[in-house]
């Protein structure tokens, strides 16, 4: 009954109804936009199987962040950590000259690539939509991102088995990643190709990160075993870090952090949080102002309904009835 009456009153005063709806819609809409932006950055998971089990391994030593490791350190983490059932590595995004299947040498273009461990897709639980994931001994192969496959390979399923040239090396495209999968690297940029890290010397001429013990080039992620907590994994990593060479007499401190698509514990993210906090306060004030304006409209409307309320009171209506 009260709902029907409210609808009749709104229809009777369309100007008031329109102003009230627009005022609240603008205020709520701005708040929703800010929250959506924050959620898409802070809470976006990696598009992989059971993303809550994925961790990113980072730390610090001698006051400097450790967000990349040498291949030897990656191997130690993979072999000594009981809390993980899979450990994977990825390079930062690199640029390389490439030639599409069937293109001439003069048609070379810039490609964005990431070198990854052979278990990368298997450990993440990401199954290519075309072809297969990497095998343990794969070298001259690549997996294309869905966007690259659609734009440059024209979405042709037959091209997934053809070769293309990257930095002079012939690579067979053996798979196409799912459309939602953009990788795990920081910064979070989708590459064109994922290539086995064993191809480092061919894809990045002059780079010898695999051979040099102190070449910290690889970002490391892992999948926790069922029942293994973040605290347990971090404790094991801390013990492992103390066995690494000291820097200025200081040991490495390692920890496992939840692996979201964006890094949520860096100084850059702290700045983003501050900006979002300021925006949140600002849009909160906008919502408050909008609500106050609506209350003022209601008071103004109430002044015009004093006669109606007086009649209702005379007929025996209670104050609670009038408030409803």
Domain count, the chain: 2
Pair (246, 283) in one structural domain: no
Angstrom CA distances, 114 to 196, 298, 320, stand at 8, 60, 67
3-class SS of residue 93: coil
Residue 267 confidence (pLDDT) above 60: no
**Residue 291: per-residue pLDDT:** 80
For the stretch 220-230, pLDDT in tens is: 999 999 999 99
Single residue among 215, 239, 261 that ends a domain in this structure: 261
- Mean pLDDT across 225-253: 93
Q: Supply the DSSP string of 139-194, one letter for each residue.
A: -SEEEE-HHHHHHTSTT-GGGGGSEEEETTEEEEEEEE--TT---S-SS----SEE
Single residue among 261, 278, 294 that ends a domain in this structure: 261
Predicted TM-score (pTM) of the model is 0.73
Cis peptide bond N-terminal to 187, omega within 30: yes
Cα separation, 287 vs 280, in Å, equals 10
* Range(s) of the domain holding residue 278: 2-43+270-323
3-class SS of residue 3: helix
Pair (110, 254) in one structural domain: yes
**Residue 101: per-residue pLDDT:** 83
Pair (240, 307) in one structural domain: no
- Sign of torsion, CA 43 41 286 274? positive
Single residue among 224, 243, 261 that ends a domain in this structure: 261
Pair (25, 110) in one structural domain: no
**Residue 102: per-residue pLDDT:** 78
Among 20-24, 51-55, 218-222, 312-316, the least confident range = 20-24
Pair (193, 281) in one structural domain: no
**For 297, how many CA atoms within 13 A lie in the half-sphere containing its CB?**
17
Pair (211, 282) in one structural domain: no
Pair (248, 294) in one structural domain: no
Q: What percent of the chain has pLDDT over 90?
A: 40
For the stretch 145-185, pLDDT in tens is: 999 999 998 888 886 667 889 998 999 999 999 999 989 97
Pair (276, 225) in one structural domain: no
Proportion of the chain in helix, strand, coil states, percent, rounded to 5:
45, 20, 35
Angstrom CA distances, 22 to 26, 31, 33, stand at 6, 14, 16
Pair (75, 189) in one structural domain: yes
For the stretch 22-39, pLDDT in tens is: 877 877 887 787 777 766
Among 98-102, 268-272, 311-315, the least confident range = 268-272
Helix (H) or strand (E) holding 114: strand 109-116
Q: Which residue has the higher pLDDT, 127 or 269?
A: 127
Pair (181, 70) in one structural domain: yes
**Residue 201: per-residue pLDDT:** 86
**Residue 185: per-residue pLDDT:** 79
Cα separation, 221 vs 48, in Å, equals 13
Pair (145, 193) in one structural domain: yes
Residue 266 confidence (pLDDT) above 60: no
**Residue 40: per-residue pLDDT:** 66
Q: Which residue has the higher pLDDT, 193 or 66?
A: 193
Residue 106 confidence (pLDDT) above 90: no
Pair (217, 284) in one structural domain: no
């Amino acid at each position: 009954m009260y709902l029907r009456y409210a609808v009749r009153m709104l229809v009777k005063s369309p100007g008031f109804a329109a102003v009230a709806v627009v005022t609240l819609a603008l205020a709520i809409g701005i708040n929703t936009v800010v929250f959506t932006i924050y959620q898409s950055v802070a809470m976006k998971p990696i598009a992989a199987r059971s993303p809550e089990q994925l961790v990113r391994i980072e730390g610090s030593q001698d006051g400097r962040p450790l967000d990349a490791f040498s291949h030897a350190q990656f191997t130690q983490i993979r072999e000594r950590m009981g809390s993980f059932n899979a450990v994977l590595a990825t390079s930062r995004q690199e640029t390389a000259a490439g030639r599409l299947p069937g293109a001439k040498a003069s048609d070379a273009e810039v490609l964005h690539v990431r070198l990854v461990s052979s278990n990368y897709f298997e450990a993440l639980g990401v199954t290519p939509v075309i072809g297969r994931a990497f095998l343990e001994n794969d070298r001259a192969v690549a997996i294309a991102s869905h966007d690259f496959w659609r734009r440059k390979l024209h979405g042709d399923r037959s091209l997934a088995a053809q070769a293309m040239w990257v930095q002079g090396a012939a690579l067979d495209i053996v798979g196409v990643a799912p459309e939602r999968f953009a990788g795990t690297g920081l910064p979070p940029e989708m590459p064109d190709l994922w290539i086995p890290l064993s191809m480092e010397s061919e894809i990045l001429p002059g780079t010898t990160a695999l051979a040099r013990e102190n070449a910290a080039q690889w970002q490391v992620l892992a999948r926790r075993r069922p029942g293994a907590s973040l605290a347990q994994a971090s404790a094991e990593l801390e013990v492992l870090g103390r066995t690494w060479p000291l820097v200025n007499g200081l040991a490495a401190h390692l920890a496992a952090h939840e692996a979201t698509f964006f890094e949520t514990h860096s100084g850059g993210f702290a700045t983003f949080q501050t900006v979002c906090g300021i925006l949140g306060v600002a849009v909160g004030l906008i919502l408050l102002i909008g609500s106050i304006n609506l209350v003022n409209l209601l008071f103004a409307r109430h002044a015009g309904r004093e006669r109606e309320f007086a009649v209702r009171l005379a007929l025996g209506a209670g104050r609670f009835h009038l408030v409803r």
